[in-house]
């Protein structure tokens, strides 16, 4: 795992945006895994400002609420349109987001996995993290081998997301999410986290045991996982000085 610690959320997002921009520039046909939520907003702003060529980029979003359509203002379809897709020259045919209105969830999830495989797999996957350690919407006790499927949100996540809907009761109970196995299959993972509310989840993910109780801890098994953190999200890491030391003393070719 590579741990990058930056002074504030904007600086962490800038670093993450730099990694995404580099990937897009070096591989104009890259397959990107994308996330929603508050954390990636400054990253998407940076990517829009970078004026990159998205015409041959393919994207797969991690998750979507069920029971709300792409036109619903709180759907992740709307989120992605508003914060990224309408500002860049991406081909709509190359955008993939789970279908929250499907009448055959199992078939739709299977097809989502197939589409990822047919696209050649995901080159770089963006992740946020829930205060309980969830990645995508893989809540604690999710199978570490899980694939795209329907999940039930915990009360805690519904409370955390109430700010988007007005109240926790209005947050859909069910979601479709890539599984932890799906995420582990990606070639590179970039987890972005900011704020004190994420500090326990980050400490568990990086320094705790690999456990379904903290789904992000499964990333310890990923060959190329980068955690881009602000000081507050990193504040409960026991080896924080070590991670800074490693980052500041990389071999020149790696910097
Ligand atoms: C969203 C997603 C979730 C969020 C997580 C953190 O697509 O996959 O795992 O990344 O809930 O959300 P924020 O960034 O709003 O704290």
pLDDT, residue 230, reads 98
Average pLDDT of 3-27? 98
CA dist 211 and 134 (Å) reads 12
- Model confidence at 9, pLDDT cuts 50, 70, 90, reads very high
Q: Does domain 2-231 have CATH number 3.40.50.1360?
A: yes
Please compute, for residue 66, the number of CA atoms within 13 A of its CA located in the half-sphere on the CB side. 18
* Furthest C-alpha separation in the chain: 53
> How many angstroms separate the Cα of 107 from the Cα of each of 58, 118, 120, 224?
22, 16, 20, 30
255 pLDDT higher than 80:
no
Q: In what order do the strands lie in the sheet with 149-152?
A: 63-65, 174-177, 149-152
Between helices 41-49 and 76-83, what is the axis angle to 10°? Answer: 40
CA of 94 to the centre of ligand 1 (A): 22
Q: Which amino acid residue places its CA nearest to atom 11 of ligand 1?
A: 130
Atom of ligand 1 nearest to the CA of 138: 9
pLDDT tens track for 122-180: 999 999 999 999 999 999 999 999 999 999 999 999 999 999 999 999 999 999 999 99
**At 152, phi and psi to the nearest 5?**
-100, 130
Return the closest-CA partner of residue 134 out of 123, 144, 119, 122.
144
Across 54-82, average pLDDT: 97
Compute the distance from residue 234 Cα to the ligand 1 centre, in Å.
17
What is the 250 CA–ligand 1 centroid distance (Å)? 30
Using only C-alpha atoms, what is the Rg of the chain? 17
Beta-bridged to residue 151, according to DSSP, are: 175
Q: Which of 46, 123, 139, 230 is catalytic?
A: 139
With 0.95 as the threshold, say if the pTM is over it: yes
């Amino acid at each position: 795992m590579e741990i990058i610690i930056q002074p504030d959320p904007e600086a962490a997002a800038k670093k993450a945006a730099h990694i995404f921009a580099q990937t897009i520039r070096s591989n104009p046909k890259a397959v990107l895994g994308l996330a929603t939520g508050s954390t990636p907003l400054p990253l998407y702003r940076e990517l829009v400002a970078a004026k990159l060529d998205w015409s041959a980029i393919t994207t797969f979003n991690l998750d979507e609420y069920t029971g709300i359509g792409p036109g619903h203002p709180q759907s992740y379809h709307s989120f992605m349109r508003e914060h990224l897709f309408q500002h860049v020259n991406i081909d709509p045919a190359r955008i993939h987001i789970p279908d929250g209105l499907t009448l055959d969830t199992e078939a739709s999830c299977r097809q989502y996995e197939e589409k990822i495989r047919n696209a050649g797999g995901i080159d770089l996957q963006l992740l946020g993290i829930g205060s309980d350690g969830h990645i995508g919407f893989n809540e604690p006790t999710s199978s570490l081998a899980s694939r795209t499927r329907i999940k039930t949100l915990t009360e805690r996540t519904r409370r955390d997301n109430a700010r988007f809907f007005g109240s926790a009761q209005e947050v859909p109970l069910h979601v479709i999410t890539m599984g932890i196995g799906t995420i582990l299959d990606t070639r590179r993972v970039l987890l972005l986290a900011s704020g004190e509310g994420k500090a326990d989840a980050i400490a568990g993910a990086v320094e705790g045991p690999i456990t379904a109780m903290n789904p992000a801890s499964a990333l310890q098994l990923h060959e190329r996982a980068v955690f881009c953190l602000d000081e507050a999200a990193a504040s409960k890491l026991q080896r924080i000085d070590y991670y800074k030391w490693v980052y500041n003393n990389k071999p020149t070719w790696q910097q």
